[in-house]
Chains A and B, each alone.
Chain A
Amino acid sequence: MSGEELLPQRSGDSLAVHKARLFRKQQDDDEEEETAEEESSAEDVKLQPRIDSIALARGRLSINTDATSPAGSVEESLSRKSGGLKSKSPKQPKPKSPKKQGVRTRFAEDSPETEGERSNSLAGTLSNVGRKLSEAFTFGKSRSSSISRGEEKPAPEPEPVEISAESTHGHTDRVWSVTWSPAGDFLASCAGDKTVRIWSEAGPSGGWHCAAVLEDSHSRTVRSCAWSPGGRQLATASFDATTAIWQREGQEWEQVAVLEGHENEVKSVAWSPSGMLVATCSRDKSVWLWESLPGNEFECVDVKQGHSQDVKMVAWHPDGDVLASASYDDTIKLWTESDDEWICAQTLVGHESTVWAVAFNTSGSQMVSCSADTTLRVWNCTSNVDGDPNWKLATTITGYHTRPVYSVDWSHQNVIVTGSGDNAIRCFVQPQQAPSEVPGISLGPGGAFQLLGCKEQAHDADVNCVQWRPHHPSELASCGDDGIIKLWLAHELPD
C-alpha cells in the first residue's frame, strides 16, 4: 500500500552513512519556527488528516475538528474553546471549509485537584494490597511549580497521597514509545511527529528537560527505539521502512548508519544484550537480524519469514540467545540461532487477537505478552528432554483491561506493568514472588497474578508504552496518544 520498494540489502551492503545530523537543543522560542520549517520542507506530500493543524504553543497537542458538520453539529467538540492556542494554517490545500479548534489536551496542571480527587476515589476501590501508582517529578521545562522528589502534595485524609501530575511537553503528535537508557539516566521518546527526543534530569531540583531532538531524519512516524547495551547508540525504527542508528558524542547526537531493507513500516527494533545484534520487524511480516560491526557498519545476517502477518514487536531474552517476536497473526515466535542461521524454535499460540508486546522477567524464566484481546498471558520456560527451551502458558490474566493492551514490562522487583487503550496503567504481581514488604497479599491459587494497583486515566488517551526505569526501583515512564510523557512512582500506601 505504501509503495516503497524493496531495497536489496541482504548481503551486507551497508548503508548510507549520514553524517552531520547534529543534535539541536530545542529552545522554547525556536520550537515554533523549527517545526514550521520542518513541515514545509517535508520530502513527500504528507497529508495528516488526523491532526490537520497543530498548535505550537509549547508542544500542546490540539486536534482540529472538521467544521463542515451539517445541522445537528456536535455541540461539545465545537464549543470547547482552546483558550488562546493558535493553529497553524494547513500547508496543503484541502477541499474543506476552515476548521475550528477542537479538543485541547488537558494539562494535568490545569486541574490538579480534580485529578487528585479522581485518583483518590479510585484508590479506595481498586487498590487493596498496599501499593499504588502516583505521579512524581516534573518532566517539562521551566515549570515554576515543579515538584521535587519526595515532596508530596497533601491529599484529603485518609486517602493515599497523590503527587500533582506534571508531565513533559515537546512532541507535537502522539508518542508511540518511551525507552530508558541502560543506566536509567536518559529517556528516549519517539512520536508521530517524526522526531525522537532524549530527556534527562535537569538537576537536583528533580525537573526534566529535553536534552536532544533527533529530527530531519525519518520521513514518517518514528515508532520505536532501542538503546545499545553500552548506552552510546540509539536505534530508531520508523514507518518510513528504515531504522536509523544514532551515536552520542558528549551532548551531541549524530546519525551514523541507516538500516534499509524492510518493504514497509518498521514497527520495532531491539538490541541484543551483548550489543552485537540488532533485530527489527515490520508490517512486511519479516524479522531482520543485523550484526553490529566495527566502524558503525551493520550487516544483515538473516531475514526471517514465518509470521503470516504484520510483526508488531521484537524483544530479546536476557541471555541473548532467544529473540521473541509478537504479531498481528495472534502468535509469538521464538527464534534461536543454530549453525549460523536463525530458526523459529517455537510458536506460542493462545492469544485471540494481535499480540502487541512481550517482556521477559529478569532471570528469563518467564515471559509476559499483552494483546488486543485485552488479556496478558504469562509463559514459563522449561527445558525439554533435549535441553532445548520450551515455553508453556502458565496463566492468563483477564478481566482487567477493557481495551487492547499495547505495552507490558516486567521489573526487577517482579512487578508487571501494562499500558492500555483504556487510558489506564496497571501493575500485577505474582504473590509468592512479591517483595516481602508489600502487606496484605495472600497467596493466590497456583500462583495467579494479582492486580497490585490501577491508575485510571493515567493519560487522557490510549497509553502506548510503559517501561520501568533501570536502577530506579518502582519508577516508570509512560507515554500516550495525548502526546505526553509521564514519570511515575509506585509507592507504598500508609496502612
Chain B
Amino acid sequence: MDLINPEPIIHERKNLKSNTDRTTTSEDQRDAIDPLEIFEHIRDITDPEHPYSLEQLNVVSEDLIDISDDKSSLRVQFTPTVQHCSMATLIGLCIRVKLMRVLPSRFKVDILITPGGHSTEEAVNKQLNDKERVAAALENPSLVQMVNNSLQGPKP
C-alpha cells in the first residue's frame, strides 16, 4: 500500500512543564484551561497512517493552540505532514472528537489547518467546522471506528 508520506520526520516527545504540580486549595477555585492542557489531550492522537503520534509528526504543537477560557473559545491549528495529505480531514476530525469528549460543552472549538499547510485547506477547514457535516460523519460506524483507533493513543 502506498503511503501518502512514506518518510515522515519524527520529532521527540517534549517534556513540557505541567500545571498539575499546583495543588488547588479549594474546590471552588478552578484553573483556567490553558494551551498546555489542550495539547496534553491531543498530542498522543495517532496518525491514521503511521504508528506515530501527532506530536511526533509535528502535526500539533502547543504554540498552535489558542484558548480563552473566559470566552469559552478554542482554536487549534494543525499541520498535515505533506501539502496534499488526504488524511487531513480525518486528522482534524480526530482532534475535534477528542476535544469534544474532554472539554466542557461551553467551548466553541475551531479546528483549522495551519495557514499554508495544505493545498485544499479552505475546503478541509470548511468541513471540519460545519457541525452538521461532522455530526453526520460521526453517525458513520466505520469512520467512527477509524477515529477511535487514532484516539486510543500510542500502542504499547
Contact = CB atoms under 8 A, between A and B. Distances in A.
B40 A70 contact: yes
Interface of B: 18-20, 24, 27, 30-31, 33, 36-37, 40-41, 44, 97-98, 100-106, 108, 126, 129-133, 135-141, 143-145, 147-149, 151-153
A49 B138 contact: yes
Interface string A349-382: 0000110000000000000000010000000000
A125 B127 CA distance: 36
B131 A462 contact: yes
Given A95-B148, A267-B132, A102 B104 contact: yes
Nearest to B153: A68
A192 to B, nearest CB: 7
Interface of A: 1-3, 44-50, 52, 63-66, 68-77, 79-80, 94-96, 102-103, 105, 174, 192, 220-221, 223, 239, 264-265, 267, 283, 310, 312, 328, 353-354, 372, 403, 421-422, 460-462, 481-482
Contact of B130 (A48, A68, A372): A372
Contacts of B97: 49-50
A49 B19 contact: no
Contacts of A72: 18-20, 36-37, 40
A72 B153 CA distance: 16
Q: Mostly helix, strand, loop or mixed at chain A's interface?
A: loop
20 contacts: A2-B140, A47-B148, A48-B138, A49-B138, A50-B138, A66-B101, A69-B40, A69-B41, A70-B40, A72-B18, A72-B19, A74-B41, A77-B102, A79-B30, A95-B149, A96-B152, A102-B104, A103-B104, A221-B139, A460-B106
A221 B137 CA distance: 11
Most buried by B among A2, A47, A63, A192: A47
Nearest to A421: B108
B144 A312 contact: no
Most buried by B among A75, A77, A403: A75
Nearest to A310: B133
A221 B136 contact: yes
Contacts of A63: 105
A482 B135 CA distance: 15
Given A47-B141, A50-B97, A461 B136 contact: no
Contact of A103 (B105, B129, B137): B105
B126 A94 contact: no
B44 A70 contact: yes
Contacts of A481: 105
A69 B138 contact: no
Contacts of B108: 403, 421-422
Contact of B30 (A68, A69, A75): A75
A142 to B, nearest CB: 27
B24 A74 contact: no
A192 B101 contact: no
Contacts of A265: 136
A46 B33 contact: no
Nearest to A67: B102
Nearest to B110: A403
Given A2-B139, A267-B132, 7 more contacts: A1-B137, A47-B141, A65-B103, A66-B98, A74-B33, A94-B148, A103-B105
B130 A79 contact: no
B50 to A, nearest CB: 19
B138 A353 contact: no
Most buried by A among B18, B37, B105, B126: B105
Contact of A76 (B30, B36, B141, B152): B30
Contacts of B103: 65, 74, 77
B140 A76 contact: no
B27 A48 contact: no
Contact of B139 (A96, A220, A482): A220
A65 B138 contact: no
Nearest to B31: A75
A39 to B, nearest CB: 14
Given A103-B104, A310-B133, A353-B126, A74 B143 contact: no
Contacts of B37: 72-74
A75 B24 contact: yes
Contacts of A421: 108, 131
Nearest to B140: A2
A71 B101 contact: no
Contacts of A77: 102-104
A104 to B, nearest CB: 9
A168 B27 CA distance: 31
B148 to A, nearest CB: 6
Contacts of A96: 148, 152
A73 to B, nearest CB: 8
A404 B13 CA distance: 37
A44 B141 CA distance: 8
Contact of B27 (A79, A221, A353, A354): A79
Most buried by B among A310, A312, A482: A310
Nearest to B18: A72
A2 B20 contact: no
Nearest to B40: A72
9 shortest A-B CB distances, which residue pairs?
A: A66-B101, A47-B144, A72-B40, A103-B104, A72-B18, A45-B141, A265-B136, A103-B105, A72-B20
A265 B132 CA distance: 10
A66 B105 contact: no
Nearest to A79: B27
Nearest to B98: A66
Contacts of B20: 71-73
Contacts of B151: 66
